[in-house]
Amino acid sequence: MKKKFDPADQELGEIKAKLTEVQNDLRRFIEQSNKQQLEFIQASSRKDLTNAFIGHMAKSVQDGLDNHMVRQCEMRDVCKDKFTGILLSNAGVLGHGDVLQETVLDNKSKLDQIKAGAPYKRCKVCLSEAYGLYEGQVSLMKDLNIYDTGIREAQDISVLPEDGVVSEFIEPISNETRLRILKSLYYRPGTFSSLSKLTGLRAGNLLFHLQKLQKAGLAIQRHEGGDYLITEKGYRLLNSLYDIWEKR
């Protein structure tokens, strides 16, 4: 039996659609205004912060080597100078923005060379301190999100439901027309007429693709005959796709 029309349902749908539109507009406004402000703040403070972190690392190197290297050793000063040079070089890469993995690994390779040529058993005490300082520097770089090893912690992807992932994400955007529609809605709401012009489709053919996006929860219609809007889910999906595409 055909469901009886309920004005309350239509009103609720319009409210949800309007709320989604307001959220999308607000998010875009905040992102745009914050971007300029954030860039200014980052530009003005990056140098000071970088110098502070480099100074912190340099002091840690000096204190660590002074206090924990073997004192009664004729090679102490020579090794200390070598360790200091390597570790300060490692700290200095902070001033170059994003830290290249090759640079950090090259400094570790220099420590490995010293280890390979260590003449005494007690050398392991000084090497242990040098390696500890090095690892501390790398850890700080990772915390600051400026050093990427390219290694990602494995996630438990066994919990991903194949049918749900395909029906809600992969299948809806596997079609170029639907992806084009969703990309358009990312920036602004779209009328049926504007989306028809965008895709070159008419009536039933366009409606088929719009219903696919709506069923997947990636887009909604403000009300019957109203504009189409991207949902938060659709917004996050496109952002994720953008990140994957940029890092391919």
Per-residue pLDDT of 102-129, as tens digits, reads 778 899 999 999 999 999 989 999 999 9
Burial (0-12, 13-18, 19+ Cβ within 10 Å), 31: exposed
Name which residue leads in pLDDT, 140 or 80.
Answer: 80
Confidence check: pLDDT of 230 > 60: yes
| Token digits of residue 6 | 């309920």
Are the beta carbons of 242 and 186 closer than 8 angstroms? no
Tracing tokens 């504009």 back to the chain, one arrives at 227
pLDDT of amino acid 137 = 86
Distance CA 107, CA 22 (A): 51
- Which residues are paired to 228 by β-bridges? 190, 221
Per-residue pLDDT of 41-53, as tens digits, reads 555 556 666 777 7
| Token digits of residue 193 | 């007429």
Could you state, in order of their start, the residue ranges of all structural domains in the chain?
45-143, 160-248
Tracing tokens 């840690």 back to the chain, one arrives at 60
Strands (E), 90-210: none
8-12, 84-88, 141-145: which has the minimum mean pLDDT?
Answer: 8-12
The verdict on domain 45-143 having CATH code 1.20.120 is yes
- The helix (run of H) or strand (run of E) holding residue 219 is strand 219-221
pLDDT band at 70 (very low <50, low <70, confident <90, very high): very high
Distance CA 179, CA 185 (A): 10
Q: Is the pTM of this model over 0.85?
A: no
The verdict on domain 160-248 having CATH code 1.10.10.10 is yes
| Token digits of residue 221 | 């219609």
Per-residue pLDDT of 162-211, as tens digits, reads 999 999 999 999 999 999 999 999 988 999 999 999 999 998 999 999 99
Topology match between the domains 45-143 and 160-248: no
Strands (E), the chain: 219-221, 228-230
Distance CA 93, CA 100 (A): 9
